Amino acid sequence: MVHVGIGYDVHALVEGRKLILGGVEIPHPKGLDGHSDADVLMHAICDAILGAMGEADIGHFFPNTDPRWKGARSRLFLNEAARLVEFREGKIINVDATLIAQAPKIFPYVHAMKINIAEALGLNIKLVGIKATTNERLGFLGREEGIAAMAVASVDLRQEG
């Protein structure tokens, strides 16, 4: 039976951090603030997968109060989400995500992001969609104070019960 989940994440842009999106370091004067590498794209995808399984969110599995996750690469979170799907005898069908950022331009990095996400989830790259949009200079995203991502994932889980 196919289940669908959605995910959303947002982090503030701050001085002194690398900007990591989809596992790719992107040249930018600011990076995302967070306990891990703050990769909003991978976090949103992880939440979408967990949601499709009816599980709690990423913060439940990888709390920012746990020193083990300090500075962790978000790819680990995707690996774990994929492992949980496999444990439930399921299969990730596809993921699709949108980054919302006024800057920097994301398109030059999309292919590398798709490779990283596909590898982390054990998917064919054609099953990973990544798009980007601006917030038309509106709100905190439009003022370049942060970056957000939203994602959807479909997961085929064996019928239970």
| Predicted pLDDT of residue 80 | 93
Number of domains in the chain: 1
In a domain, 95, yes or no: yes
Long-range pairs of 59-63 with CB within 8 A, sequence gap ≥ 24: 62/36
The CATH number of the domain where 57 resides is what? Answer: 3.30.1330.50
| Predicted pLDDT of residue 41 | 98
pTM of the model: 0.94
In a domain, 102, yes or no: yes
47, 68, 69, 45: which is closest to 57 by C-alpha? 47
Residue 130's domain spans which residues?
A: 2-156
Q: Are 7 and 45 in contact (CB under 8 A)?
A: yes
**Confidence category of residue 31, pLDDT binned at 50, 70, 90:** very high
**Confidence category of residue 159, pLDDT binned at 50, 70, 90:** low
Residue that the structure tokens 């690996």 belong to: 79
In a domain, 161, yes or no: no
